[in-house]
Structure 1
Amino acid sequence: MTTLETSPVHRTDPHRGFWDFIETRPDEEKWELIEGQIVMQARPSLIHQVIVVNLQRLLNEALERSGSSWIAIHDPAIDLRPFITGHTYVPDVAVIDAAAIEPDRNVVDGCYLAAEILSPSDHRKLPGTRQTKIDVKRTGYEALPLCQAALLIEQKSRALTLSVRSGEPWIRTRLTGDDRLVLPGFGLACAVADLYARTPVGRG
């Protein structure tokens, strides 16, 4: 997945500029606000989309079994204010409280889990910074008080990096292949390979 970048419309209030800009764009486009920069995500690959479907299904099945009021959805807008200004992310999958879902609402102010399916553009440095886009976003998710876990999932190999909150610090773990992805707070326990079901990576 590639990115196209544009400048914020409203320099004094990047969030206002971001939403003013979004209102002018077609619904099918996916835009994020990262370090005050408006960034467009191009259409994802088919493998990317299958991984999203698999993860969303696994999470929702686990949440339903545990009787949770949370729900996993794809592409919600997450406004990081007041914890970080100039950032509104659209994770590929996020777990939010179902009570936050209301008619005409497309943005929430936090999530319990965020997952990103990685592409080459995620590893490029943001203009004007020394950090890659995905490093900035992971730090942003970890700054959200509600967030308990963040997943960075590879497309071309059965591997992911899991960040989980353990008190104030976060613990990051690399998982591959038949390793187990266990998230007790979400009722999820599956193999990493399960995320790649019905993809060439999963059949490899």
Structure 2
Amino acid sequence: MGVPHLDSGPMRAEEFFAFTATRPDDEKWELIEGEPVLNATASRLHQTIIRNLTVLLDALARETSAPWEVLPGLGVRISDISVPVPDVLIRPATFTGVECDDMIIAFEVLSPSTANKDLRWKRKAYATLPSLRQYVVIAQDAVEVVSFDRANDFAERRFETAESVLDLPVIGACMDLREIYRGTGLL
């Protein structure tokens, strides 16, 4: 039999999916430039914001019979060696499988351990997807949301008060920051 040769190159997406299929469901893995990365367990504030986003967006989708769906924690294939997982995404409502490459809006809730990656690497990586129209980053320690929109060449727009309204033009919606931060104790 001998000793098998190890591939010292970056992990590919198919290898990554085979690997994550063997991991417990409560682990959140991402493939970032060929390296599998295990994310820390999310805080209560982080999960509260994700729940608020998901509930608000899902209600809007149902009310309007939207041709899109909202999903938390789904991998997005950026390339054969990068499959990041946004906290929440919106994509066309035709999904099957464990990944997508057609999200139209991505949401990330900043954590101390992921803030730099979310603001730098993910922003640039997500912008390479032709389908992406908006990337929204949400602070979990302050009422502060930053939106990067393709229509404005991904220029930064900041929303910093509970009365601010985040617009999501690609789905024809607006969200009050008060609703995004409901139950966090930050208002």
TM-score (norm 1): 0.81
- Name the SS of the counterpart of 1:25 in structure 2: coil
CA distance in 1, matches of 2:89, 2:8: 28
CA distance in 2, matches of 1:63, 1:48: 23
Give the 3 Å change call, closer, same or farther, for CA 29–10 of structure 1 in structure 2: farther
**How many residues get paired?**
179
- Name the SS of the counterpart of 1:89 in structure 2: coil
| Percent of matched pairs sharing the same residue | 30
- Residues 63 and 187 in structure 1, CA contact (< 8 A), matched pair in contact too: no
Q: 1:173 aligns with which of 135, 157, 167?
A: 157
- Residues 71 and 96 in structure 1, CA contact (< 8 A), matched pair in contact too: yes
List alignment gaps of at least 5 residues for structure 2.
1-6
Shift in Å, 1:12: 5.3
- Name the SS of the counterpart of 1:120 in structure 2: coil
Shift in Å, 1:13: 4.8
Q: 1:34 aligns with which of 32, 35, 42?
A: 32
CA distance in 1, matches of 2:10, 2:159: 42
1:154 is aligned to 2:146: no
| 2:110 counterpart residue number | 118
TM-score (norm 2): 0.87
Paired AA for residue 13 in structure 2:
H
Q: 2:83 aligns with which of 75, 83, 88?
A: 88
Paired AA for residue 186 in structure 1:
I
Paired AA for residue 23 in structure 1:
A
Q: Deviations over 1:54-99 (max 9, x none)?
A: 1112222233344321011110111113xxx421011110001221
Considering fraction of residues, name the structure with more strand: 1
Q: 2:126 aligns with which of 131, 141, 144?
A: 141
- Name the SS of the counterpart of 2:94 in structure 1: helix
Say which one has the larger Rg: 2
List alignment gaps of at least 5 residues for structure 1.
1-8, 124-131
Runs of 4+ in 1 over 4 A off after TM superposition: none
| 2:4 counterpart residue number | none
Q: Say what the alpha-carbon RMSD is for the aligned residues.
A: 1.8
58-67 or 29-38: bigger deviation? 58-67
CA distance in 1, matches of 2:14, 2:156: 34
Shift in Å, 1:33: 0.8
- Residues 10 and 16 in structure 1, CA contact (< 8 A), matched pair in contact too: no
Q: 1:57 aligns with which of 51, 55, 58?
A: 55
